[in-house]
Amino acid sequence: MVIASRDFRALRLDRISRDFGHMHALRDVSLTVQRGEFVALLGPSGCGKSTALNCIAGLLQPTGGEIWLDEQRIDEIGPEDRGFGMVFQNYALFPHMSVRRNIGFGLTTQRRPKSEIAQRVEEALALVRLQAHGDKLPGQLSGGQQQRVAIARAIVVAPPLVLMDEPLSNLDAKLRLEMRAEIRRIHGMLGSATIYVTHDQEEALSLADRIVVLIDGRTRQIGTPEELYRNPADADVAEFMGYRNLVRSRAEQSPDGVAVQIAGARVEGTPIGTVGTAATVAIRPDDLYPAGDGPIEAVVEIAEYHGRDFYTVGRGADGTELFFRSPVRVSAGETVRLAAAKERVLVYPAAL
């Protein structure tokens, strides 16, 4: 394969900020992305992740900080001079152009020789497995195929960095899974760096080498998928990483760590940081399960069958809503006892 990213060592964001009037969309975001790395920007809507990507692409000018590609400062130059590939949420294909012409558009604007354009377009088509569709119009393709065309257009210019802004959000569940694998495969073959914006924590966990969690325009945690999945830095990050059970509680020290109250029951947990008497307890639904000797009593309100198990909502005696999974059938109105391993009951200092 001839297509390969242009050589570089690292992209560096140094305290990047972006204001829109009195609104602070980004505040002092710092990040270094190494060549070959796949980094996901993860966070809820309005957290600043797309703003950060647009600042990197050159579509927005930061109001503070600097962006460097190796020794070159790039936040002061236009997007066309940065040479990055961009994949948009809505594909942004030209409907009147064939797949081949769409893919080769960037090379055409660079005034590359026709023979080079033709060769590189064919290589890109092969990379995204669309060799048989080169003469079709975008409207003749499925959503997944159109997204592959958009990816081919981004990579055909051999960018040092590929930027993807929620590229799978318009696809159905099956296509999303297929395209995840394709994006990771293509990333590995190119050797470029990829920065990928998503609000889907499962997508970020499955694709990224590192995840950057942004909340309210600030970086809240940077780490590997395993680190963020098992050890969120605070209760806000835990909530976004799927710890749906977030319970305000009283905490006290115990011989094994810390004990908290959940739905009127005493439960052993693992402290994250310095925990006083006021605490927030975080437990994933996957980690809370029915057990005959479980300390927490709850009445089942909703039980949804998900194939391998039941996703269930229960209510504790004190009104606490609890989300858990059950490998055996449970029904609305049934009383169950619940348990969780101490290391999966994360106890954070209560937010002020």
Q: What is the pLDDT of residues 68-96, one digit of tens each?
A: 999 999 999 999 889 899 998 888 899 99
Q: Alpha-carbon distance 231 to 31, whole Å?
A: 20
28, 8, 30: which is closest to 19 by C-alpha? 28
Cβ within 8 Å of residue 252, ≥6 positions away: 258, 259, 277
Helical (H) or strand (E) element with 105: helix 99-109
Average pLDDT, the chain: 92
Task: For residue 262, report the phi and psi dihedrals to the nearest 5 degrees.
Answer: -130, 115
Work out whether strand 38-42 and strand 193-198 pair parallel, antiparallel, or are unpaired. parallel
Task: For residue 261, report the phi and psi dihedrals to the nearest 5 degrees.
Answer: -105, 125
Cβ within 8 Å of residue 121, ≥6 positions away: 100, 103, 104, 107, 134, 152, 156
3, 8, 10, 28: which is closest to 18 by C-alpha? 28
Q: What is the pLDDT of residues 197-216, one digit of tens each?
A: 999 999 999 999 999 999 99
Q: Alpha-carbon distance 229 to 42, whole Å?
A: 13
| Angle (CA) 66 69 75, round 5° | 35
Q: Where in the chain is the domain with CATH 3.40.50.300?
A: 10-235
Task: Specify the pLDDT at position 172.
Answer: 85
Which stretches of the chain score pLDDT less than 70?
1-6, 351-352
Q: Where in the chain is the domain with CATH 2.40.50.140?
A: 238-349
Q: Alpha-carbon distance 145 to 143, whole Å?
A: 5
Task: Specify the pLDDT at position 91.
Answer: 82
The answer to whether the beta carbons of residues 118 and 142 sit under 8 Å apart is no
Say whether domain 238-349 belongs to CATH 3.30.565.10.
no
Q: 0.95 cut: is pTM over it?
A: no
Q: What is the pLDDT of residues 146-162, one digit of tens each?
A: 988 999 999 898 899 99
How far is the first Cα of the chain from the last one, in angstroms, to the nearest whole number? 55
CATH no., domain 10-235 = 3.40.50.300
The answer to whether the beta carbons of residues 195 and 159 sit under 8 Å apart is no
The answer to whether the beta carbons of residues 258 and 272 sit under 8 Å apart is no
